[in-house]
């Protein structure tokens, strides 16, 4: 595990083998859960890239909670679905908690890219809240290093495609579609607020 602490760049991509072969959903869950056990040891990485060739569960909340990467300047995540739950006492866990810790004053995280990442409908990870929390951190901290936050494709936000049903059974699909439409508007408004703040701070 010592070699992980010496890495400055870490990029992990999981993909099918081709020729009509595709990994099962269980494989992706098991793979990223296993990787999640090692990620906290990569304490000196400046660039972290984790990606999948299809929408799948990424490293579990416990992995994000255990990670402290003080040198991290760039984070890229692709094709992950998050099912974060808020911990007792309102402390954010998982991806949102990780971002909050690494965007505090004095942090070095300059760039965040979430490409085709979504959250499970009904989980505690609501994108409008994520965007607004980051906006608060950037606007109130004179020492925030964040220069770019990209959640792409942005059309997903407006179309509500940054949420998936997951395993919620018995849900009224009509009500879900209506709620998703309303949430998409809130998400896009919050995303635009964040981009405006970043634009202002970059011009300063």
- List average pLDDT for each run of 10 residues in the chain, which is 204 residues long: 84 78 79 92 95 88 91 95 67 82 88 91 82 88 83 71 62 65 88 91 65
Local structure of 89: helix, strand or coil:
helix
The residues near 106 (Cβ < 8 Å, ≥ 6 apart) are 143
Output the pTM of the full model.
0.87
Give the per-residue pLDDT at 72: 96
Which own/partner pairs from 96-100 qualify as long-range (CB within 8 Å, at least 24 positions apart)? 96/125, 96/129, 96/130, 96/133, 97/64, 97/65, 98/64, 98/65, 98/67, 99/130, 99/133, 99/134, 100/133, 100/134, 100/137
């Amino acid at each position: 595990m010592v070699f992980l602490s010496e890495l400055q760049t870490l990029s992990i991509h999981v993909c099918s083998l081709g020729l009509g072969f595709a990994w099962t959903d269980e494989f992706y869950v098991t793979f990223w859960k296993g990787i999640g056990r090692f990620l906290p040891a990569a304490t000196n990485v400046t660039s972290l890239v984790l990606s999948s060739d299809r929408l799948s569960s990424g490293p579990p909340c416990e992995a994000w909670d255990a990670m402290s990467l003080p040198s991290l300047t760039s984070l890229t995540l692709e094709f992950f679905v998050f099912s974060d739950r808020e911990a007792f006492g309102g402390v954010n866990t998982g991806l949102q908690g990780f971002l909050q810790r690494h965007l505090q004053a004095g942090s070095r995280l300059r760039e965040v890219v979430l490409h085709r990442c979504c959250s499970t409908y009904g989980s505690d990870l609501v994108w409008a809240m994520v965007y607004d929390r980051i906006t608060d951190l950037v606007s109130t901290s004179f020492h925030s290093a964040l220069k770019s936050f990209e959640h792409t494709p942005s059309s997903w936000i407006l179309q509500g495609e940054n949420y998936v049903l997951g395993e919620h059974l018995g849900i009224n699909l009509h009500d879900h579609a209506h709620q998703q439409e309303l949430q998409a508007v809130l998400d896009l408004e919050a995303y635009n607020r964040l981009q405006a703040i970043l634009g202002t701070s970059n011009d300063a």
